[in-house]
Structure 1
Amino acid sequence: MATDETPEPDDPSEEGLWRPLWALFREMDGDIARLYREAEIEGVRTTWVGELLRLDRRGPMTIRELADSMGHSHSALSQKVAAMRAAGLVDTLPGEDARTKRVTLTDRARSVVGRLAAEWRATERASRELEAELPYPLSQVVQDMRQALERRSFHDRIAALLAEDPQWR
């Protein structure tokens, strides 16, 4: 509901409190992708590196095991595995029953996974350096937000605001 002090925009999608944060993360991710291009690591998306490293360290896993270990849904990981398979980075083998598949690295992935691990470690160090330059570390913001959300979930906060909005009812 609009008031004289806070007019509601015609298009609510024009608002985005955390849009600059997401844009910043995309820029940083783009810098990592640029490093891959410069190092001629072709066909590896930055969003796949965690899973590739996990498979390298722990060996073949079912899609469910890999999803659980990474904190992702089975559906999301299944799509990611399909894309990594199409890129020639993983193979899927039959699992213990007809419904499961075991994911394993290909020779191509094994040939770059050491470099990906080096990039991951360097990225973590660079992130710590960057955070040390900030007056209030982002990792502390995340902890503080988690504590606030434990007191009152994001769902409950949004639901309470929607209850006041006649367009939602």
Structure 2
Amino acid sequence: MNFFALFGLPQQFHIDMAVLSATYQSLAQVTHPDKFSAAGGKEKLLAVQKNAQVNDGYQVLKKPLSRAEHLLELRGLELQHETQTMQDSQFLMQQMEWREELHEIEKASEPERALAALELQIAAQTKQHFSRLESLLNQQNAEADKNAAMEVRKLKFLEKMKKEIELKEDALFDY
């Protein structure tokens, strides 16, 4: 399913979020199963399926990382079930350093400050990788798409790292 087509949006990374939201509201109203309560069983089932597609599409398109994955899938690169490993040794080393830093954070003289600094590093890296990802996706060629897939893998790691930082904050400071 092409969610860009479903929402009448151009098949590109940057989309107008206000248009996405307005289109979602409109499609959700039109396909809501309650509107088909008097219809036959087949029509009800179709309404439920269409409404689920609208909801799924909105969830995918509203998040930049899942939107990029969807765009790459539409271009023939399947990322969700892949087993390809990270080939960027510099990024792998950086991952190891961040993980070690996070693991040792409670031993820091000022753990809250150390955690905030790590969080800022992750945020800066995330911003850089999203910028690179958008640039690669705009090129719309096989080599750029392959490199964009690598950026998606890196961003998934950074997203996971951000969640781990939040969990560590909760554990250390009992928020």
Q: TM-score of the superposition, structure 1-length normalised? A: 0.26
Q: Whose relative contact order is higher, 1 or 2, with alpha carbons under 8 Å and at least 6 apart?
A: 2
Report which of the two has the higher share of helix.
Answer: 2
